[in-house]
Amino acid sequence: MKLSKMHVKTLREVPAEAEISSHILLLRAHMIRKLVSGVYGFMPFGSRVLRKIEAIIREEMDAKGAQEILMSAVQPAELWQESGRWQAYGPELWRIKDRNQRDFCLGPTHEEIFTDIARNEINSHRQLPQNLYQIQTKYRDEKRPRFGLIRSREFIMKDAYSFDKDWEGLDQSYRDMYDAYARIFTRCGLEFRAVEADSGAIGGSNSHEFCALSEVGESQIAYCDHCDMAATTERAACVDEQAPAEAELALEEVLTPDTKSIEDLCAFLHIEQKKTIKALLFEIADSEKYKYVAAFIRGDRELNMIKLINALDIPEYAIEFADEAAMGEKTGAVGGFTGPMGLHDCCIVVDSELLAAKNMVAGACKTDHHVKNVNYGRDYKGDIVAELKVIKEGDPCPQCGAPVKMTRGIEVGQVFKLGTKYSEPMGAVYKDESMEEKPIVMGCYGIGVTRTMAAIVEQHHDENGIIWPVSVAPYHVIVTLVNSTDPVQSALAEELHDRLEAAGLEVILDDRDERAGVKFKDADLIGIPVRITVGKKAGDRIVEYKLRADKASVDKEAEQAIADAVEFISARRRG
């Protein structure tokens, strides 16, 4: 392939909207092209990388016995209403209507569709287990798309669904997919961790998130060097600190003017933050049980919103911070001075750590006043008690007690044990050996293909551009012709191109009428693993050989350059 014939338009300047390396470099290398916010097209080089990633996914999924199909992205509302997710999924579900005003959505995921397949086409235990997957475009109406392919409104995903007779079968399917994912991300050249994760809007019991380690990742990961604990902070359990034994003292209301924050309160009373109770006030949409929620944690702790949402058993979209004045009129809460005593007509959620904490300071539900010596059980009780804290670096590991460490990652895949979450409400059953109907036990397994592409760039780049791993590189070798008007150089460059292609490598020849410096910059930006430059020494059959990951180049005889390129690529092309 000659670069002069390809549709490529690299950029020298950093695009104004790009914030992180992958977004910047994929735009500059003309691998992606923005249509509108959160929606990108894939140009020739980018499309080739996507196909490479998809090929790796297909190989590993097929090796585990999964079967590829392709379903529509347009899904009827009726299926989502059957599962209960039409409202529960929230505003990110991209809802549309046809000309007859029938409701549809653009699928962010396909649990309902695949469950519908199972209930209509699987009826006997002899048909189980099965695993069906697809690689398809998905849609999510993101409130704030950002970071290019990391958080977009249209994205390519591989989603798979396993169907088993029982939980033992699901366990095996889950292990198979876990192993396949580890192989996929390893072959893609990613450094990653598989960590316990919250199942979110997908639901189910157990879930693991595969995170490509990166400082720009939205997933924060807690892990332990002394045991196998690794989890997103949304999921990671936080150990309650044992409070020192104290006799419960009498309540004492104190004047605390202008102390709405924990920091101001502690400075005013000369106490530690861990001796205070922090209140966070929320409003719940469309709840038949309660409109307002007051959550209480120790003053030095941070509230884990996902744990609170799970404790309340509500969808994530349904909760928001309350208007303090409006909530105060209904419940007695007072902004900045709310405590667990004196509240009414709201749900009180208490962090488990507070149960043993003695003689705490809490808001008095009265402007400029707090109460000393507040104790759980004697002075207040929670409607819900749950562990609500965010784990922090240095906190004790919930498994072994060693200090926890933190890192960040980009979520590139997640696996879920759905169980019967979808099969029971949608009637996906099979007949066992005794002809008794039983619900199919399901698993769900997703990989963000476009996210994986971005994650690879985040981990594999330098100041000059992308450094693609051979397994996913758009081409293996770029032959750079310094002077396209020189017949000797042109002949050798063509020979190298043809012989490398004949050896099974994917090669492009940069024969453009551009300065050598421009060609070198583009080669580095695009990130082809091997560059062979044909220049002034072509008459002696000497070329410049350079690996993209190396700083220096070396002169080699043309035959040796071909042999070295073939050996290098062949050893690495499967990842």
Angle subtended by helix axes 44-63 and 167-187, to nearest 10 = 140
pLDDT at 286: 76
Second-level CATH architecture of 17-236+406-458: 2-Layer Sandwich (3.30)
Q: What is the C-alpha separation between 297 and 209, in angstroms, rounded?
A: 27
Domain with CATH 3.30.930.10 in the chain: 17-236+406-458
Rounded average pLDDT over 499-505? 97
pLDDT at 140: 95
Considering Cα of 81, then 83, then 87, then 90, what sign does the dihedral take? negative
In degrees, to the nearest 5, what angle opens at C-alpha 21 toward C-alphas 55 and 91? Answer: 75
Q: What is the C-alpha separation between 263 and 477, in angstroms, rounded?
A: 59
Q: How confident is the model at residue 201 (pLDDT cuts 50, 70, 90)?
A: low
β-strand 230-232 against 461-462: which pairing, if any?
unpaired
pLDDT at 317: 86
β-strand 230-232 against 219-223: which pairing, if any?
antiparallel
Which class for 215: exposed (0-12), middle (13-18), buried (19 or more C-beta within 10 A)?
Answer: exposed
pLDDT digits (tens, 9 = 90+) for 90-114: 899 999 999 999 999 999 999 999 9
173: CB partners within 8 A, 6+ apart? 129, 131, 162, 164, 443
pLDDT digits (tens, 9 = 90+) for 365-400: 999 999 999 999 999 999 999 999 999 999 999 999
Rounded average pLDDT over 506-525? 95
Supply the CATH classification number for the domain 252-386. 3.90.960.10
Task: Let me know: does 460 contact 470? Beta carbons within 8 Å.
Answer: no
Q: Report yes or no on whether pTM surpasses 0.85.
A: yes
Fold type of domain 475-572:
Rossmann fold (3.40.50)
Q: What is the C-alpha separation between 528 and 474, in angstroms, rounded?
A: 7
Q: Map tokens 């014939």 to a residue.
A: 5
Task: Let me know: does 281 contact 327? Beta carbons within 8 Å.
Answer: yes
Domain with CATH 3.40.50.800 in the chain: 475-572
